[in-house]
Chain A
Amino acid sequence: AQSVAQPEDQVNVAEGNPLTVKCTYSVSGNPYLFWYVQYPNRGLQFLLKYITGDNLVKGSYGFEAEFNKSQTSFHLKKPSALVSDSALYFCAVRLGSARQLTFGSGTQLTVLP
């Protein structure tokens, strides 16, 4: 079975500071990893994905994530946070042969002005 853990329910960071939202995964095989963002009462917006290749993945709105196979992690990062980045962030995983995504529990990011 595949699973995703987001160990932090809430992350607070000051505007302009770097931010990290953590994600670890557990799958038996090669994972496809995704980050999505959700604003209040909205669906999920795709940020970035890791399929294969370069471990550092760059995505939308200046976000990036690094795939670390030895630590089974896929942390989301941004060098300089904006207040508008405040939202709920979800990490997700799927195996290559499967269509379904398994989501983490979500991390509420609050960027303080």
Chain B
Amino acid sequence: GAVVSQHPSRVICKSGTSVKIECRSLDFQATTMFWYRQFPKQSLMLMATSNEGSKATYEQGVEKDKFLINHASLTLSTLTVTSAHPEDSSFYICSASAVGVAPDTQYFGPGTRLTVL
């Protein structure tokens, strides 16, 4: 149980375009989802915390107008990278905290590799 999926797993786009990444909890309801960014050989950096039905909370230094987060339901959160540039190329990982199922554990998606040309 507690499976989190991400789509797409890999995306390549041109500079200036927008990219949407989906994060879904497949077998549980997630009141809170988290979005992380990971650079090669580095740790995960929390970008934002997404709560269902409310605005996301962004970490310091993360541009909320560039990284749009929507958590429309208890099983889906989306991250949209707007006007992407090469420096946005990274590995983006989401996680979800389950309601009623080990709420103190985050379950992670498989990640999305974004390459901006």
Interface residues, chain A, with chain B CB atoms under 8 Å away: 32, 34, 36, 41-46, 49, 51, 90, 94, 99-106
Residue contact B34 to A44, C-beta cutoff 8 Å:
no
Residue contact A44 to B49, C-beta cutoff 8 Å:
no
Q: For residue B18, which residues in chain A have a CB less than 8 angstroms away from its CB? A: none
The reply to whether the CB of B43 lies closer than 8 angstroms to some CB of chain A is yes
Q: A51-B104, A103-B44 are in contact. List 7 more A-B contacts (CB 8 A).
A: A41-B111, A45-B108, A49-B105, A104-B43, A105-B43, A106-B41, A106-B42
Interface centre among A32, A41, A99, A106 (most CB of B within 10 A): A99
Nearest opposing residue in chain B for A104, CB measure? B43
Residue contact A43 to B97, C-beta cutoff 8 Å:
no
Nearest CB of A to B90, in Å: 13
Q: For residue B42, which residues in chain A have a CB less than 8 angstroms away from its CB? A: 105-106
Residue contact A42 to B34, C-beta cutoff 8 Å:
no
Interface residues, chain B, with chain A CB atoms under 8 Å away: 4, 6, 32, 34, 41-44, 46, 49, 91, 93, 95, 97, 104-111, 113
B4, B6, B46, B104: the one within 8 Å of A49 (CB): B104
Nearest CB of B to A36, in Å: 7
- A90-B44, A100-B49 known; A43-B6 Cβ under 8 A: yes
Residue contact A43 to B108, C-beta cutoff 8 Å:
yes
Q: For residue A100, which residues in chain B have a CB less than 8 angstroms away from its CB? A: 34, 46, 49
- A41-B113, A99-B49, A100-B34 known; A46-B43 Cβ under 8 A: no
Interface centre among B97, B106, B110 (most CB of A within 10 A): B106
18 pairs, A vs B, C-beta closer than 8 Å: A34-B106, A36-B108, A42-B110, A43-B109, A43-B111, A45-B108, A46-B105, A46-B106, A49-B104, A49-B105, A94-B104, A99-B97, A100-B49, A101-B46, A103-B43, A103-B44, A106-B41, A106-B43
